Structure 1
Amino acid sequence: MNPQERREQLLTWIARHGTASIQQLAQVLHVSEMTVRRDLRILQQAHLLQSIPGGAEVKKSATELAFDVKRRLHRDEKEAIAAKALELIDSDMTIAFSAGTTTWAVAHRIRGFQQLTFVTNSTNIALELQQNGWTQIVLTGGNFRTPSDALVGPFAEYTARHLHTDVLFLGVHGLDVEAGMTTPNIQEAAIDRVLIEQAQKVVVVMDHSKWGIKALARIAPIEMVDAIITTRTPHVQAHIAACERLGIEVFTATLPDQGSKEEPV
Structure 2
Amino acid sequence: MKVAAIIPAAGIGVRMQSQTPKPYLLLAGKPILAHTLEVFEGVKEVQEVTVVTHPDDLDYCREEVIAAYGFKKVLRLVPGGKERQDSVYHALKALQQEDNLGVILVHDGVRPFVTPEQIRQVIKAARTHGGAILGVPAQDTLKRVSPQKKVIHTLDRKDIWQIQTPQGFQADVLRRAFVEAYSRNFYGTDESSLLEEMGQPVAVIPGDPWNLKITTPDDLQLAEALLPWLRSRKS
Taking structure 1 as the reference length, what is the TM-score of the superposition?
A: 0.27
Structure having greater relative contact order (Cα 8 Å, sep ≥ 6): 2
Q: Which has the larger radius of gyration?
A: 1
TM-score (norm 2): 0.29
| More helix as a share of residues | 1
